[in-house]
Chains A and B, each alone.
Chain A
């Protein structure tokens, strides 16, 4: 995946190169290419830190600050998660990234039949405010911000975070939470959706509106092109679809009478970094430029800082192989190079063994060192956007811009993202592409070192021991504990408060009132995640997936 198509002649010379996004690449570029494209520095690049930010969001970029890296936590019980949190903070981390188990992500309590075998496995099990309080006990929520990897029930988790903070004496003005909260990408590429499309978007809108009015330090949405790319989209589509998704959310909120200027600055992005080096660099530079232009021209945003495409460029799981895993160390380094040359502010790398296991501390450290090396040894901090002015890169960036706009136009033709996803157009396109890429990989049309061509020394030599897959640890104890906690909770909480808060939530959900304040009340009353999500399920129904073919 991510490899360009190379058409070679009998002697192995490359006759044609086509990038995944559909762009053809010439053997050589010169000043005439820039001339032909009508390239000018002011219009197409701007100085670093100046509109349209193609080169960089900040004038000094890495000269003033190296890129920041992230690391996940959260699994098992809230108690264990709390310990991990405290350890990470002691090690100097000033932001937490929280993962939740599947039942929580899907709005089920730990004792729901569908939760079987899943409690605490891929993240923390949260059933009620009690669990949140345990997880964040003793954490200074006015200084430490938390990223919550939660989507369908992001509103519930945001409310819980606020309720937890309030119970510990903090005010909602002090806390900083960044829920992922991008339901539309779930419907394309990650699968953790619950409600029909319009209702999912309504909830995102509610959370943004609430954040604007009540949570000044929180960032309500992280637009994830990442997962869309992982499920088969090309680099150009990754950006295009993320932007069209952003528009769906923006439009929902502006329809409430709130100006884009008041919230778009708090959007962040999560983009993927694997694949052809030049295509990635051009993609990110074009993305920065297009985002700024779109916000300025289509949404009337004028404040410079609010035009920034902030986010994480990283990951790259799809590029890695299970076979000859050590090759992934090099791949990771090259992907990181691409991210650095693109001026990524924040990054993270998949560990080399991630294709078949949970990253070990050693492999996680290797990733961290890869990232440090680029900044401190190899010279990526030396100057801003070093490739600017390159005939190739500037031409490619312009072509990528065109490609992205083309893909966006197609979505607009289909009636926008909500319609495209409801009708299955995006999913169909992305699945078919994934199928074609996979066929190409298996046939050897796309080269993957260590994998093909089959039978060559590099695919048969040592290092090719079939590494066996290791899975997320699952501990039955977690489920047992969670279930008994639930039992105790139900016996000791104030049922009248729970019922009345859920009733109020229902009314809001079925109407147009913002659900967030009601959710906060429900959390304080110790309503469970399943109960709150249950109210939504009743009010909205569950999504009926379209056929993907």
Chain B
């Protein structure tokens, strides 16, 4: 794992769900922790997220999913990342995620899961740990 002097994160809202408060406040928290954050906006298709992550040369894609569709979305995205050679980018996901799904997500290749209720510190520590 390379160490990074600046971690670039894409906070993305895939799909139709419009609850973006969590994504926005996490973006602010990551900025205050010294990271460079790109926020995708709502209603993103996976294609848009892939293109954005590639162009912006991010280190982490942070998906914010409040709709419960995290398993199919992550599976799809991991597939696309592999296909398009985005293999040095980590995928993390946060939002409404039951604890029982965390091992499933990790198995797919998701680097870190931040279920609702986790503190800002927990998220920034988790993110930073990926680069230690």
Contact = CB atoms under 8 A, between A and B. Distances in A.
Direct A–B contact present (CB less than 8 angstroms): yes
Interface of A: 102-103, 105-106, 108, 113-118, 121-122, 186, 189-193, 230-232, 322-323, 431-432, 434-435, 438-439, 442, 466, 468-472, 474, 545, 547-549
A548 B24 contact: yes
A469 B98 contact: yes
Interface of B: 15-21, 24-25, 27-29, 31, 39, 41-43, 45, 67-69, 72-73, 96-100, 115-117, 119-121
A108 B16 CA distance: 10
B19 to A, nearest CB: 6
A396 to B, nearest CB: 28
A369 B115 CA distance: 32
Contacts of A323: 117
Given A191-B18, A469-B115, A545-B42, A442 B25 contact: no
B129 to A, nearest CB: 19
A466 B20 contact: no
Given A548-B20, A549-B39, 11 more contacts: A103-B16, A117-B69, A189-B21, A191-B18, A434-B24, A435-B24, A435-B25, A438-B120, A442-B121, A474-B69, A549-B31
Contact of B18 (A192, A439, A466, A547): A192
Q: Chain A: interface secondary structure? A: loop
B3 to A, nearest CB: 27
A274 B37 CA distance: 32
A469 B97 contact: yes
9 contacts: A113-B45, A114-B45, A230-B21, A232-B21, A435-B28, A439-B29, A469-B115, A471-B96, A549-B24
B15 A114 contact: yes
Contacts of B119: 442
B67 A438 contact: no
B12 to A, nearest CB: 13
A191 B19 CA distance: 6
Nearest to B96: A469
Contacts of B45: 113-114
Given A117-B69, A322-B116, A547-B39, A431 B21 contact: yes
Contacts of B100: 468
B121 A102 contact: no
A322 B117 contact: yes
A91 B29 CA distance: 48
Top 8 nearest A-B pairs (CB, nearest first) are A191-B18, A471-B68, A102-B16, A435-B25, A117-B69, A431-B24, A435-B28, A469-B98
Given A431-B24, A471-B98, A121 B68 contact: yes
B68 A438 contact: no
B42 to A, nearest CB: 5
Contact of B116 (A114, A122, A435, A469): A469
Contact of B15 (A118, A186, A439): A118
A545 B67 CA distance: 20
Contacts of A232: 21
Residue of A122, A191, A230 ringed by the most chain B CB atoms within 10 A: A191
B99 A468 contact: yes
Contacts of B69: 117-118, 474
B77 to A, nearest CB: 13
Contacts of A114: 15-16, 43, 45
B98 A468 contact: yes
A466 B117 CA distance: 11
A158 B5 CA distance: 54
Contacts of B21: 189, 230-232, 431, 434
Contacts of A548: 20, 24, 39
A438 B25 contact: yes
Contacts of B28: 431-432, 435, 549
B18 A193 contact: yes
Contacts of A439: 29, 120
Nearest to A230: B21
Nearest to B37: A549
Contacts of A186: 18
A154 B69 CA distance: 25
A117 B15 contact: yes
A114 B76 CA distance: 13
Contacts of B25: 431, 434-435, 438
